[in-house]
Structure 1
Amino acid sequence: MGGNAFNKHTPPLPTPRMPPEIYTQILQQTLEALRKHYQHVGSPIEGPGKPDFGDIDIMVATPLSPDFSPLTSTRHLVSQNLSKTLSAAAYILEPGNPTINLAVPWPGPSPQLEKKFVQIDVHTCKDEKEWGWNLFHAAHGDLWNILGTTIRPFGLTVNDKGLYLRIPEIEQVDRKKSMIFLTDSPSQILEFLGLDEERWWAEFGTRREMFEFATECRMFWVKEKENEGEEGVGDVVGEVEIGGQEGGEKGKKKLKHNDRQRMAKRPIFKEWIEEFIPAMREEGRFGLCKITREQVMEEAFEKWDVKAEYEERLKAWRLVRHEEELWREVIKGSIPEDVNPQLRGAAIRQLKAVIMEGDEWEGTVPDAAKKNEDGFHDLEVVRKFVLENWKKAGEVGWEWQQKRAMEGMKAKAEKKTAAAAEKGAS
């Protein structure tokens, strides 16, 4: 929440940003208090060089007593127990949100009129694995934002669930459907990215130190100046990035919308894009791309055995797109629009039934309705069939519609007659 959760509390409770000494004091007190009630208690490693802090984030898992478990007590009761344990003045609990916001008194004496508080966010994880993942994913503040821009051009994404491999053909249309889950193991992810695990779990002393660590990712490289006007490596094809880090004004234009928004709110990420990357370009460092997206994909296949899932997802996606093209462009699109609308509509419905739904045509299955072993039609065969037969299909379809309409009217009349007879008999 950034320390703003209690602005709308009744009454509002001031939670100003904390200097490092207040943050450290309250953090240690909170960790010690919660370790009496949870087996797993931790706080994400903070980013380097922060002059102040908006709130304190705590991750907990495996309650040691029923009073602190949402599985055996209501979440309100758990919140009340946490509030009592931490001597909080108030707490906020939102439905469906595993995080509880608590306002604890600012340490040290303060006049009543100037009373202020520290916001503590306690996030309850379902188990030790989720707890470890959250600490990993939230570590070092902006580091995952930085690494995200590094690994994204190579088809990789890390979110709050794990590491994913994206399918290029699908991500241009539907990013979510393009994602193949690889792992939620921090060790496996760091190894795959070429980052030192021991160094990851230690706090960085400076931003520069963290930036240099990020450059150790084996997918990190900086686009050289002399390539700026060239097409190919370093450009964007559709929405799929295929190049290295660029930074500066030109690099900012190629960032995703979310990354551009992030620059406005995250000074460290802004410094990475506007200062560090351009400096690396000036120094001529990291100008060599050591691996391709295709190589990353093949390595992911081998390491996590997801090739079959990848190919099945891609095949299913292509089949859906194929059927959309078959219906919209080949069947509907091959029938003239300047003909009787009723005849055209009947032809479209009839041809769809024959080609896509398995109805026979003149007592047989035409070649246009046949699919190959992967489920695809031959679009040229279909187009030829539609052009040659749409008029007849329209006549057959219209006749069937008229017959169905007459049968409907007859059934309705019979129902009405039966109802009248039943009413007369009573």
Structure 2
Amino acid sequence: MGGNAFNKHSPPLPTPRMPPKVYNSILQQTLTTLQKHYQHVGSPIEAPGKPDYGDIDIMVSSPLSVAFDPSTTDRKLIAKSLEQTLGAAASILEAGNPTINLAIPWPSIPPPSLNPSISDPDQTQEEEAKFVQIDIHICKDEKDLTWNLFHAAHGDLWNILGTTIRPFGLTVNNLGLYLRIPEIELLDRKKSMVFLTDSPSQILDFLGLEEGKWWSEFGSRREMFEFAAGCRMFFVKEKEKDVEDGREGVGDVVGEVEVGGQEGGEKGKKKLKHNDRQRMVKRPIFREWIEEFIPLLREEGRCGVCRVTRDQIRDEAFERWGVRKEYEERLKAWRLARHEDELWREVIKGSIPEDVDPVVRGAAIRQLKAVIMEGEDWDGSIPEAAKKNLDGYHDLDVVRSFVLQNWQKAGEVGWERQQKRAMEGMKAKAEKKRKIEEREKEAAS
């Protein structure tokens, strides 16, 4: 939570940003302690060159005792056990959130100098109580822990890689790598996503990134940026392509983003998604990538070649993870659902005049839907308008013609049926009331 979880605690507990020596001291101490209670314990690799830290993130799995096992022990009790074990002043536990926030007293680190006239700047406010926020994420198993360490590694690196792979139809979230279906993603991003893998090794290999480097801390931001630029989907928009045929920023629009290479700088910022623009404000490393590193590559004429297309990436994913059938079936179902929505809203409802009696119009719509979409007979037979082709599609022109010719009759039939159902409902209600009264009389006698 960025070190802000205890701002709303009662009373609020100050958790200021930590200098590296405080961060490293508490991190190592906490890891050592938690290894006595969990088989697997780890902390994500931090981004390079951070001058301070907001909180400490730790992943744990495979508890060694019942007191720390969420499958047998209430999470509130686990939070209390962690408080006692780590000497925390308080904890925060939210429903449905696997992370427990702990406030650990700020360590007392003696100044490096023995000269009392030389003070340690980190000890200028010793009298004021302050704390370190530790976020302990309880993972389901070792595989889940490994994934979380992978996904959280190097701070903003996945934000950077996300802007690179998104135009090629790929998304990495907290569960794994997904392939997006272009026709669906514009209207329903979640339904457009086809799961590929949650294996870090497979993902890095598919992106063309060296796994060995991933699991080591980068020496500098520049080193991390160079690593990210090695992704086989990364390329920089060439300067001479800024203006083409009198238009700026010409590129192939696929799905929700433009596949025309990254350009960074002011023009590049304008083409970022809303979430990425927000990251520009809040995340200095991501801002440096956009504002400085990408323009530098353009100036140097590097990474200016697009090595793959979105279709190639899709086909490679089909081959590697065998998801072609799922992809095509989901796309087929989506197209059919869109067709049926158009059939209902635009052809059936849309072909009946809106200035007619609302009661008659409503009855006509319901009756035509029953005949065309639900298979009900019309004059003793199934009309052509209700028939579908082998893929499940209606002929919209035939349906529209049928509706225009028959909506008035459908309104009459629908109204009569509506009245009949109303009368039957009233009779049933009256009969039910009569039986209740009879039972009450029998009971009274």
Band of TM-score, shorter chain? over 0.9
* Amino acid in the other structure paired with 1:180: V
Name the CA shift for 1:176/1:263 in 2 (closer, same or farther; >3 Å).
Answer: same
Q: Which residue number corresponds to residue 300 of structure 1?
A: 317
Of the structure 1 ranges 142-151 and 95-104, higher mean CA displacement relative to structure 2 is found in: 95-104
Q: Which residue number corresponds to residue 46 of structure 2?
A: 46
Q: Which residue number corresponds to residue 116 of structure 2?
A: none
Asked if 1:380 is matched to 2:397, the reply is yes
Q: Which residue number corresponds to residue 28 of structure 1?
A: 28
Q: CA deviation at 1:243?
A: 2.6
Q: Which residue number corresponds to residue 391 of structure 1?
A: 408
Structure 2 SS opposite 1:85: helix
Name the CA shift for 1:88/1:381 in 2 (closer, same or farther; >3 Å).
Answer: same
Once residues 79 and 353 of structure 2 are traced to their aligned partners in structure 1, the CA distance between those partners, rounded to angstroms, is 67
Any conservation in 1 of the 2:182–2:254 contact (CA below 8 Å)? no
Name the CA shift for 1:382/1:22 in 2 (closer, same or farther; >3 Å).
Answer: same
Structure 2 SS opposite 1:181: strand
- Which of 132, 139, 143 is equivalent to 1:118? 132
Any conservation in 1 of the 2:243–2:250 contact (CA below 8 Å)? no
Q: CA deviation at 1:257?
A: 0.9
- Which of 361, 366, 374 is equivalent to 1:344? 361
**Identity score, percent:** 76
Q: Which residue number corresponds to residue 402 of structure 1?
A: 419
Q: CA deviation at 1:283?
A: 1.8
Name the CA shift for 1:412/1:23 in 2 (closer, same or farther; >3 Å).
Answer: closer
Asked if 1:78 is matched to 2:78, the reply is yes
Asked if 1:322 is matched to 2:336, the reply is no
Structure 2 SS opposite 1:70: coil
Once residues 291 and 439 of structure 2 are traced to their aligned partners in structure 1, the CA distance between those partners, rounded to angstroms, is 85
Name the CA shift for 1:312/1:238 in 2 (closer, same or farther; >3 Å).
Answer: closer
Any conservation in 2 of the 1:57–1:120 contact (CA below 8 Å)? yes
Any conservation in 2 of the 1:151–1:220 contact (CA below 8 Å)? yes
CA offsets, 1:62-86, max 9 Å, x none?
Answer: 1112222122333233222222222
Question: Gaps (5+ residues) in structure 1?
Answer: none
**Equivalent runs, 1:156-175 vs 2, <5 Å:** 156-175=170-189
Q: CA deviation at 1:39?
A: 1.1
Any conservation in 1 of the 2:236–2:304 contact (CA below 8 Å)? yes
Of the structure 1 ranges 247-256 and 88-97, higher mean CA displacement relative to structure 2 is found in: 88-97
Q: Which residue number corresponds to residue 223 of structure 1?
A: 237
**Equivalent runs, 1:277-288 vs 2, <5 Å:** 277-288=294-305
Of the structure 1 ranges 186-195 and 8-17, higher mean CA displacement relative to structure 2 is found in: 8-17
Once residues 248 and 290 of structure 1 are traced to their aligned partners in structure 2, the CA distance between those partners, rounded to angstroms, is 23
- Which of 257, 268, 278 is equivalent to 2:285? 268
CA offsets, 1:23-51, max 9 Å, x none?
Answer: 11111111111112211111100001100
Of the structure 1 ranges 155-164 and 405-414, higher mean CA displacement relative to structure 2 is found in: 405-414
Once residues 146 and 297 of structure 1 are traced to their aligned partners in structure 2, the CA distance between those partners, rounded to angstroms, is 21
Name the CA shift for 1:167/1:422 in 2 (closer, same or farther; >3 Å).
Answer: same
Question: Gaps (5+ residues) in structure 2?
Answer: 110-122
Name the CA shift for 1:28/1:396 in 2 (closer, same or farther; >3 Å).
Answer: same
Q: Which residue number corresponds to residue 155 of structure 1?
A: 169
Once residues 211 and 260 of structure 1 are traced to their aligned partners in structure 2, the CA distance between those partners, rounded to angstroms, is 19
Any conservation in 2 of the 1:15–1:116 contact (CA below 8 Å)? yes
Any conservation in 1 of the 2:167–2:254 contact (CA below 8 Å)? no
Of the structure 1 ranges 378-387 and 412-421, higher mean CA displacement relative to structure 2 is found in: 412-421
Any conservation in 2 of the 1:233–1:242 contact (CA below 8 Å)? no
Q: Which residue number corresponds to residue 143 of structure 1?
A: 157
Structure 2 SS opposite 1:102: strand
Name the CA shift for 1:367/1:209 in 2 (closer, same or farther; >3 Å).
Answer: same
Name the CA shift for 1:415/1:25 in 2 (closer, same or farther; >3 Å).
Answer: closer
CA offsets, 1:257-296, max 9 Å, x none?
Answer: 1111111100000111111111212222111111000110
* Amino acid in the other structure paired with 1:41: V
User: How many equivalent pairs are there?
Assistant: 426
* Amino acid in the other structure paired with 2:13: L
After TM superposition, the score normalised by the length of structure 1 is: 0.94
Asked if 1:62 is matched to 2:62, the reply is yes
Structure 1 SS opposite 2:96: coil
